[in-house]
A and B are shown apart, each in its own frame.
Chain A
């Protein structure tokens, strides 16, 4: 079984679902993703890494696909002002529950919970920075590019973002000029052995903007996970032991080992929460334990 030794961060998640998707030609939020939608997949990944709420910010009147129960939906007050508008709304909401938030766009099909955790760990005080206070933004600098739409923000930055919006300063760089930004580069990310194992190319920041990019992403092999079956689920088909399968969701993993993810089966991922939602996202390195829903003994 894979071991991770990270602790959860007192953080929220913010997924920006608005945007014109002009090059894609279809709203990215509704794009399918291996039996789910891209938005549901990304919110599910973020939910796995934070212990605060996950907030989706949509454009005014934007229709969203079905989301996991518990996901909070907010709306931009004004359309067409770019990611800073969604950032302001999302951080305002996050501030009610958490000090920090991981903020990302919808179009990150390979986002990994280990990457989100690594970003959020960047809020811990860093003596090397020379700052007395912890950073206000944790900004990945991957492949030579800053990644403001897969970054960590202190929730109390919402006010400053609103002031920038009022001043028509609509780019994230304008915010970064005004606060303590800690950049994390590829080498620093990959110093985390677990992240290096499950996402060695840091594909977590790969976004899809065109139908071609989406199609290529969709054609990639789904993440490799380990499946364990217990009790009658292990003995019924005469095949016991663990299996490695490629699956993006619990339902897909169940299907590949001949199980139907109905109400009589539940799953635990990495020995943690019990899940009954077939669309729940799986990630490279996961171990899924399928067991009977009735635990009586």
Chain B
């Protein structure tokens, strides 16, 4: 069997790949390169002179307690978002996997939130939980909770995690459902005959068999929580109150675009870039090996 496509002209394949390559080079590699260069430069306050400062931007960054806090906060957010949205999605998927009346409708409805853009998610949740406008805030206050995410940093963080996790549930649900449906029915039946009750069947058979899916989603969710929460944070809290919801990505934005400290902002971007590369590498390594079970 001939696996290679045959082209009349030797240039045609290159011409066909060129648009894709151009987009990647211009919109991904060029800015990335710019960021790396920028991270070694220092501009004066008026943008009149630029000097090459080697690693000064990085050194300064790591000497800054706020940056360290942002790292810890980002990791905490990622962890909280990933764990809460994964567990909720898994619960929903297990429920939806059973044969039931209206199952298709239920599944379709659960997938919808994924189509909502992150800033819209932010607005949506703010409407529900805004201290003076929110519907849910009233109930919370009636229950005696002093709910004010605009002033209370922990509550603001909770709100961001909640909204970000909610949005990701659909995506995770979809993968979990597919994963569950890939488990042969006879394996579950064998477990039932082998005397495993439903909960035990879940933890000893279903969960281990889903582990490749869980691992894949864990990486995807962490990457999501790192980067795609920007829209949610920007519409909901703008990083506040204080810096209680400033993540690494949001810090790049505030310091670079709002604060005008391009050198430091670029250095932060480069660090983020390295993080993504590491995460992706881990994922490829494991996904290729299909996580042995």
A and B from one assembly?
no
B interface residues (Cβ-Cβ under 8 A, vs A): none
